[in-house]
Amino acid sequence: MSTKSTLLRARAPHQHHRVTYVELFFDLVFVFAITQVSHTLLAHFTPLGVLQTTILFLAVWWVWIYTSWITNWLDPERTPIRVMLFGLMIAGLLLSTSIPKAFESRGVAFALAFVAMQVGRSAFTYWSIPRSEPGLRMNLLRITLWLACSGVFWIAGGLAEGQARLLLWIVAVAIEYCGPMTRFRFPGLGATPLEDWEVEGGHMAERCALFIIALGESIVVTGATFAEATWTAPTVSAFVVALLGSIAMWWVYFHIGAEAGAEHISQSENTGRLARLAYTYLHLPIVAGIVVTAVGDELVLAHPAGHADTKAILSIIGGPLLFLIGTILFKRSIRGIFQLSHLVGIGLLVVLIPFAHSLSPLLLSTATTIVMLIVAAWEAISLGSGTKEDEI
């Protein structure tokens, strides 16, 4: 067996490969990147700032999820793959540290780091796949060429300024996100058949689940903010409410859904299609919801009293709402039904919107946390009573 062939993971039907330590080490860079995104959103919470931060967030998620696909195909225990991941970590740190000023003085640095990661990782994977795997090899060639095309717009945007940078990066993001939808169709090469996208489902599910656990970094940020604040009854209450909200969100995702999703994709006959929908696209609003919720928690800790302004309302309600929307769509992609508890939670959050301006940030945060606790409790009761209708 050649060196190249041994860079691929050994596969067996319905086998679950564990997530390796080097993958968890790699994730640390992106926990930092997500923290940078949340701080950037907090510092630039205007319509333009939200749009810019959204572009940065979409880029960060795309780099991470693409790497998860690659380490599903390649074996991270092999030295060349580990070296590749370490190289991605170095570029990832440059990417992460550029986020706060990506639309100011560090646009070129952000763009170059992003393109180097996307194109470099894909080209390396193309080189790593043996010729005995022509379908997977051709898939990576299409991906590399597609990302090189979007890379032109990333770098051009980094060199541009102001509105031109924003428009060029919107085009770049659109190209990136349309790639999997079109199966990376490229002139002269056609599109990749979905059977060439097959993944080891259990590993993919575990990667996304562990990344969501890693976003518990928001708890660390909340704790650090609380440690520096004056400990009054409102700030202590805000801290407790934020912690309970995080616990409720963990419960809603992990109590049933994460394990069921891993089992379903592991047994699926079309793992590539399911991984593209459930884990590549539908986990995006879940992670976004956690990021926005973290912003809301910081705002409540800073100003728990008074009337909630638009910034507070959008983050305090919008974060859990995005999270529940993403979770219900993810679970529907697995089981094919909309989970009733999640629909009720989404409805209750929407009902809060007309009353939000009359509430203080602390009361509004308490209300959204109660909604999330109701959804979590519903999950637990449904499972405990053996009710199948509301399970995933």
- Read off the pLDDT of residues 36-63 as tens digits, 9 standing for 90 and up: 999 999 999 999 999 999 999 999 999 9
Asked if 245 and 320 count as a contact pair (C-beta separation under 8 A), the reply is: yes
Per the DSSP assignment, residues forming a β-bridge with 331 are none
Per-domain boundaries in the chain:
21-182, 201-382
Global pTM reads 0.92
Which residue is it, tokens 């934020």? 242
pLDDT band at 307 (very low <50, low <70, confident <90, very high): confident
Q: Where is pLDDT greater, at 321 or 19?
A: 321
pLDDT recorded at residue 11: 73
* pLDDT recorded at residue 198: 87
Phi, psi angle pair for 74, to nearest 5°: -95, 155
Q: Are 300 and 312 in contact (CB under 8 A)?
A: yes
Please state, rounded to an integer, the average pLDDT across all residues of the chain. Answer: 90
